[in-house]
Amino acid sequence: MNAHDSKIENASPQRPTREEAEEAVRTLLRWAGDDPAREGLLETPKRVTKAYGDWFRGYSEDPTEMLQRTFEEVEGYDEMVVLRDIRFESYCEHHMAPIIGKAHVGYIPNGRVVGISKLARVVDAFAKRLQVQEKMNAQIAQALMTTLEPQGVAVVLEGEHHCMSTRGVHKPGVSMVTSTMFGVFRDDPATRKEFLSVIGNPTNRMG
């Protein structure tokens, strides 16, 4: 077991043991109609619990902590900073099916600038949890607004929900677009328009 797996397993006193999690996978395999004792499935419970450690590592990550290190010597830069097309992988909390998409994150500094890799890490920290896209969108924006205290924050998410493409209505290729705007992005239509122009305005792109 690596350090991350240990952190995941020990994060909560109510968290089941790895052995209990593996037995739960065996139960699901039997529910699906297969035999967990057959050769091809013998290691599956172990593989699944290991995969869960990666898919849901966001529960052991603190997005606020990721944003603590900022750069103040930026020559008074106070224009828009945008990181677009950040690929994310999340999981629907209703069916545990994948949500695959892109995040576009922008903010206007108020004296504090964060490294661009931190923006991507914050997206991942919230994505690597069971999620509803609207909630994830708001969480990312709120973390940036609260921690960086910028003039404004804008976050747009585009996601394909596999609970819709691989089950239910079976409509692949459909993207859901959500947005959260704070500060000048909410109050100033020109600033909001500039941000949407920079990221390629997902709503228009889908039309």
Question: Active-site residue 94, yes or no?
Answer: yes
Distance CA 134, CA 132 (A): 6
Among candidate residues 92, 131, 139, 151, the one labeled active-site is 92
Q: Residue 79 carries which DSSP code?
A: S
Question: Active-site residue 92, yes or no?
Answer: yes
Distance CA 69, CA 89 (A): 25
Closest CA to 83 of 113, 117, 127, 109: 117
Question: Active-site residue 194, yes or no?
Answer: no
Among candidate residues 104, 131, 133, 158, the one labeled active-site is 133
170 is in an annotated binding site: no
Question: Active-site residue 142, yes or no?
Answer: no
Spatial CB neighbours of 27, under 8 Å, sequence gap ≥ 6: none
Cβ atoms of 192 and 156 within 8 Å: the answer is no
Question: Active-site residue 149, yes or no?
Answer: no
Q: What is the CA radius of gyration of the chain?
A: 20
Question: Active-site residue 93, yes or no?
Answer: yes
Spatial CB neighbours of 143, under 8 Å, sequence gap ≥ 6: 63, 64, 67, 122, 126
CA 30 to chain centre: 31
Helix segments in the chain, DSSP class H: 3-9, 18-32, 44-55, 63-66, 116-127, 133-148, 162-165, 184-187, 189-199, 202-206
163 is in an annotated binding site: yes
Among candidate residues 4, 20, 94, 149, the one labeled active-site is 94
Distance CA 174, CA 14 (A): 38
Question: Active-site residue 39, yes or no?
Answer: no
> Catalytic residues, which ones?
92-95, 133, 161, 163
Binding residues for Zn(2+): 92, 95, 163
